[in-house]
């Protein structure tokens, strides 16, 4: 097949971006090629706000025909957390036909080499980037994120994480040269001389199991890491969040075909309601890599049962913020209030347990009692969300009825310091919008422990009274060790407490944000610089993104012969 896009053209177009990404993961300074501002789009072929909205609207009620082999039905029943029925249907695959078809193009993809694969991946990301406005609506109406967050987290930030994975995959593959001449001296005899060829070979077909809340942000790292290392990739989206990944698959298939590769290297596995296809796929012998984001129970199941595959999981944890003291009380409160509110706390990185000494804390505004800190935080959240328009823009919608149920039950777990409120969304009257609840618990009471030592995913936080900051650090340690943590925060002006908390995080392998009072929040990480998760505590068995995330997605085969 004559490629419309030659590898040479793609290298010329994307190699500078790849090189910048390689430099960024080395220095971990700020960098992104994907603009965060909606107004940055609309030129050079990218869709502006209106065109993106129109493109999204045009998708509603349509069938997304990816042209995949083995399509035996059309499925799809997404209902936006904002109330819209998307009415989009997707191919349902006969996997006995689809999986073999996905292998047909693997040899050519392997033989293309690491650089060609990287620039094809970058072209896919570029076309997705150009459609960021369209993807933003797709993410908003599947995850329930507010538009601006769906735009940024589902657009440029997700694309950054995908590009970061491509950069790690590329550099890992080129650590070993394509060929080597090996000449070993033998004293007076002729040296031994071998010519060696090294080829990065894929493991097989990779399965990406998407999540409801961050279909692109959590899906892209595994998708691009596997594709860039030569594997075919089957994307199994969450049944409530198919559209953003179906569009992604569509773009990937287009680019692969234009570049002369088999489009079946990337395919979608949409499912019927209740079909539970993930378990079936995850144990198929063809599936050699799995990336999963979701519940601990299914993540643990995958790790235990998908033994034929490399399994990368991001599960659930219990995130803690230890509050000992602060030199910027207002900044701390507003920073925490934002973290608790953003996307109604429906982030795997949102703090859940706020550990506060029962005797109170030291601040630049003088000592504050436990109750004062909690009341001030509640006021800060109330202030942040006092205006309904702003509240809607920050909170988004409750993603599913389970979250709503947990939120409603949380008020019964202890004394409510801040009650959850309903917010009406004038644009989407069916959206379920709720402000966070803050519940006071006592760290020393066994009944309360049952609550704060369980993940309560959603807009629920516990203000947990602890005997001292040092006791809090020990509870932090136990929480990470037993339940895992995607993030840890701490506020302290005390060097010893700071050292103690750092040591806990180093020993339990948790990512720590210290004394954040400005515009960076504990629940946000930046690709190319911050690690998302550590892979060293029970919340996740891998981190985004590091060498370990990519190094075992391919193997190196050596062919040696006498020179």
Residues that bind its own copies (CB under 8 A): 25-30, 37, 107, 110, 172, 175-177, 180-187, 192, 194, 196, 198-199, 201, 203, 303-304, 307, 502-503, 505-507, 509-520, 526, 529-531, 534-536, 543, 546-548, 551-552, 555-562
The nearer residue to its own copies, 187 or 273, going by C-beta atoms, is 187
- Of 128, 121, 4, 126, the C-alpha closest to 55 is 128
Distance CA 367, CA 369 (A): 7
The nearer residue to its own copies, 183 or 424, going by C-beta atoms, is 183
The nearer residue to its own copies, 194 or 411, going by C-beta atoms, is 194
Residue with tokens 């920073």: 335
Question: In angstroms, what is the minimal distance from the CB of 314 to its own copies?
Answer: 14
- Dihedrals φ, ψ of 96, to 5°? -65, -25
The nearer residue to its own copies, 185 or 273, going by C-beta atoms, is 185
CA 1 vs CA 100, 107, 110, 118, 254: distances in Å: 20, 15, 17, 20, 14
The nearer residue to its own copies, 308 or 369, going by C-beta atoms, is 308
Question: In angstroms, what is the minimal distance from the CB of 546 to its own copies?
Answer: 6
Question: In angstroms, what is the minimal distance from the CB of 47 to its own copies?
Answer: 22
Enter the DSSP assignment of 325.
Answer: E
Pure H helices in 261-315: 277-282, 296-305
Question: In angstroms, what is the minimal distance from the CB of 37 to its own copies?
Answer: 8
3-state secondary structure 125-157: HHHHHHCHHHHHHHHHHHHCCCHHHHHHHHCHH
The nearer residue to its own copies, 395 or 544, going by C-beta atoms, is 544
The nearer residue to its own copies, 400 or 524, going by C-beta atoms, is 524
Question: In angstroms, what is the minimal distance from the CB of 222 to its own copies?
Answer: 16
The nearer residue to its own copies, 173 or 392, going by C-beta atoms, is 173
Beta-carbon count within 10 A of 135 CB? 29
Enter the DSSP assignment of 350.
Answer: S
Torsion of CA 23, 26, 27, 33, to 10 degrees: 40
Distance CA 146, CA 135 (A): 13
The nearer residue to its own copies, 271 or 508, going by C-beta atoms, is 508
Question: In angstroms, what is the minimal distance from the CB of 319 to its own copies?
Answer: 15
The nearer residue to its own copies, 391 or 505, going by C-beta atoms, is 505
Tokens of 329: 């009380």
Question: In angstroms, what is the minimal distance from the CB of 166 to its own copies?
Answer: 16
DSSP string for residues in 150-219: HHHHHTHHHHHHHHHHHHHHHHHHTTS-SEEEEEEEETTEEEEEEEEEEEEEE-SEEEEE--SS-TTTTT
The nearer residue to its own copies, 210 or 317, going by C-beta atoms, is 317
User: 418: exposed, middle or buried (C-beta count within 10 Å: 0-12, 13-18, 19+)?
Assistant: buried
Q: How far apart are the first and last CA of the chain?
A: 35
Question: In angstroms, what is the minimal distance from the CB of 32 to its own copies?
Answer: 9
The nearer residue to its own copies, 252 or 485, going by C-beta atoms, is 485
Instruction: Report the length, in residues, of the chain.
Output: 563
Contact between 240 and 139 under an 8 Å Cβ cutoff? The reply is: no
Question: In angstroms, what is the minimal distance from the CB of 274 to its own copies?
Answer: 29
Longest dimension (CA), the chain: 88
Question: In angstroms, what is the minimal distance from the CB of 364 to its own copies?
Answer: 15
- Of 115, 85, 7, 82, the C-alpha closest to 344 is 82
Question: In angstroms, what is the minimal distance from the CB of 339 to its own copies?
Answer: 14
- Of 461, 467, 471, 439, the C-alpha closest to 341 is 461
**Helices and strands per DSSP (H, E), number in the chain:** 19, 21
Question: In angstroms, what is the minimal distance from the CB of 130 to its own copies?
Answer: 22
The nearer residue to its own copies, 295 or 552, going by C-beta atoms, is 552
Torsion of CA 354, 359, 361, 364, to 10 degrees: 150
Question: In angstroms, what is the minimal distance from the CB of 34 to its own copies?
Answer: 13
Task: Give the angle subtended at the CA of 209 by the CAs of 229 and 30, to the nearest 5°.
Answer: 60
């Amino acid at each position: 097949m004559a490629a419309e896009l030659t590898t040479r053209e793609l290298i010329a177009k994307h190699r500078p971006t790849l090189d910048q990404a390689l430099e960024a993961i080395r220095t971990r300074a700020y960098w992104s090629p994907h603009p965060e501002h909606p107004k940055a789009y609309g030129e050079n072929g990218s869709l502006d706000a209106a065109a993106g909205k129109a493109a999204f609207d045009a998708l509603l009620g349509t069938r997304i025909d990816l042209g995949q082999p083995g399509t035996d039905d059309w499925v799809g029943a997404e209902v936006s957390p904002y109330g819209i029925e998307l009415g989009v249907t997707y191919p349902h695959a006969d996997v006995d036909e689809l999986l073999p078809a996905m292998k047909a193009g693997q040899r050519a993809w392997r033989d293309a080499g690491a650089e060609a694969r990287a620039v094809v991946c970058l072209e896919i990301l570029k076309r997705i980037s150009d459609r960021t406005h369209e993807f933003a609506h797709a993410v908003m109406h599947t995850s329930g994120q507010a538009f601006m967050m769906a735009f940024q987290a589902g657009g440029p930030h997700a694309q950054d994480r995908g590009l970061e994975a491509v950069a790690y995959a590329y550099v890992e593959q080129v650590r070993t040269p394509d060929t080597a001449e090996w000449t070993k001296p033998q004293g007076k005899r002729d040296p031994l001389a071998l010519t060696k060829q090294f080829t990065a070979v894929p493991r097989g077909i990779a399965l990406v199991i998407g999540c409801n809340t961050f279909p692109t942000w959590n899906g892209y790292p595994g998708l691009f890491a596997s594709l860039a290392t030569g594997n075919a990739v089957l994307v199994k989206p969450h049944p409530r969040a198919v559209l953003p990944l179906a569009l992604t698959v569509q773009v990937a298939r287009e680019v692969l075909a234009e570049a002369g590769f088999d489009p079946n290297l990337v395919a979608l596995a949409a499912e019927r309601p209740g079909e539970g296809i993930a378990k079936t796929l995850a144990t198929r012998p063809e599936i050699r890599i799995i990336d999963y984001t979701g519940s601990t129970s299914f993540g643990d199941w995958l790790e235990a049962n998908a033994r034929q595959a490399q399994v990368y999981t991001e599960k659930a944890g219990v995130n803690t913020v230890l509050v000992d003291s602060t030199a910027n009380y207002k900044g701390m409160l507003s920073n925490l209030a934002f973290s608790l509110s953003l996307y109604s706390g429906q982030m795997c990185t949102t703090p859940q347990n706020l550990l506060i000494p029962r005797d109170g804390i030291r601040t630049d505004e003088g000592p504050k009692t436990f109750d004062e800190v909690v009341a001030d935080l509640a006021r800060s959240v109330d202030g942040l969300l006092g205006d309904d328009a702003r509240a809607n823009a920050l909170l988004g919608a409750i993603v599913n009825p389970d979250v709503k149920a947990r939120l409603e039950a949380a008020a019964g777990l202890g004394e409510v310091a801040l009650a959850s409120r309903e917010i009406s969304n004038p644009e989407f009257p069916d959206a379920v919008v709720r402000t966070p609840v803050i519940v006071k618990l006592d760290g020393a009471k066994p009944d309360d422990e049952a609550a704060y030592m369980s993940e309560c995913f959603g807009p629920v936080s516990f203000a947990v009274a602890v005997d001292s900051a040092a006791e809090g650090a020990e509870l932090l340690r136990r929480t990470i060790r037993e339940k895992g943590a995607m993030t840890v925060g701490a506020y302290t002006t005390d060097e010893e407490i700071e050292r103690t908390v750092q040591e806990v995080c180093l020993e339990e392998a948790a990512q720590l944000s210290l004394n954040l009072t400005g515009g960076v929040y504990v629940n946000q990480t930046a690709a190319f610089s911050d690690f998302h998760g550590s892979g060293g505590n029970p919340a996740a068995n891998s981190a985004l993104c590091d060498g370990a995330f990519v190094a075992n997605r391919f193997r190196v085969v050596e062919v040696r012969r006498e020179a």
